[in-house]
Amino acid sequence: MKNLSIKISTLLKSLPLIHNLLRRIYCIFFPGIRFRTEEKLAHLNQVFVLKIGANDGVLNDPFSDFLMFDTRFRGILVEPIPHYAQMLRDNYSDTNRFKVEESAIFEESTSISMFLVDEEESSRTGQKIEPWLRGVASIDKSHVIKHLSSNLHKYVKEIPVSTLTVPDLLSKYCINHIDLLHIDAEGFDYMILRQFDFEEIHPRVVLFECKHLSPADRIKSKELMESHGYSVYLYETDFLCLN
């Protein structure tokens, strides 16, 4: 059913009115991340967003069009890799509704090494790097390498980045309310999630990647959200949590 709906959706994209109508009907029976989030936030006049691991803010981002084109959305976009953070600023420059924090969220406010695929060096040598590989940048070098064929291992680059804890991030921007929390931290999502005091700040929607979590952290992250009154839905690579 899902594969058939994707094929039909692709064919109908040239007819946007029909495409949107059929998408709405489909989502009533098979609600996805975007539909559930849109439904949860529909009544709000303003939506405060905290996105951790924002990358360029567009590629493989389920909320990019909400953030870019719905003027209710505003907030903080966190991205530690300088090149990606600049892409993020460029992509969102016309909105004037978001601040970019160029830090990694970690267990202490310090500086650490991160690893990524060096697109500049690969381009210089004529090696094509797929854009989606920007999304595998990580504190863990082995996490980056496992996504690459052996001929690309030489393009893995180590860079220093500054870090903030969640409490320090919230304090820096005087954040005491979040409507939409989105975390994509390539296996470190639970480390970030458990730093939030969900009794004090209780986002309406929390989306975080569970694909790269250890089995134990996957269970603990789900239990954490359920203990704070969230309904947790698994969508392929992510947990969507609704209060």
- 44, 72 contact by CB (below 8 A): yes
Each residue's pLDDT, cut to its tens digit, for the chain (243 residues) gives 444 444 554 555 566 665 455 555 544 545 689 999 999 999 999 999 999 999 999 988 999 999 999 999 999 999 999 999 999 999 999 999 999 999 999 999 999 999 999 988 888 888 888 889 989 999 999 999 999 999 999 999 999 999 999 999 999 999 999 999 999 999 999 999 999 999 999 999 999 999 999 999 999 999 999 999 999 999 989 999 999
Query: Among 117, 171, 127, which residue's Cα sits nearest to residue 148?
Result: 117
pTM: 0.86
**Interior CA angle at 64 toward 201 and 194, to 5°?**
30
Q: At what angle do helices 2-12 and 16-29 cross, to 10 degrees?
A: 160
Distance, in Å, from the CA atom of 239 to the CA atom of 219, rounded to the nearest integer, reads 11
**What's the distance, CA 197 to chain centroid?**
20
The CA–CA distances, whole Å, from 5 to 16, 25, 30, 128, 144 equal: 15, 12, 11, 32, 33
DSSP 152-184: GGGGEEEEEEEEE-HHHHHHHTT----SEEEE-
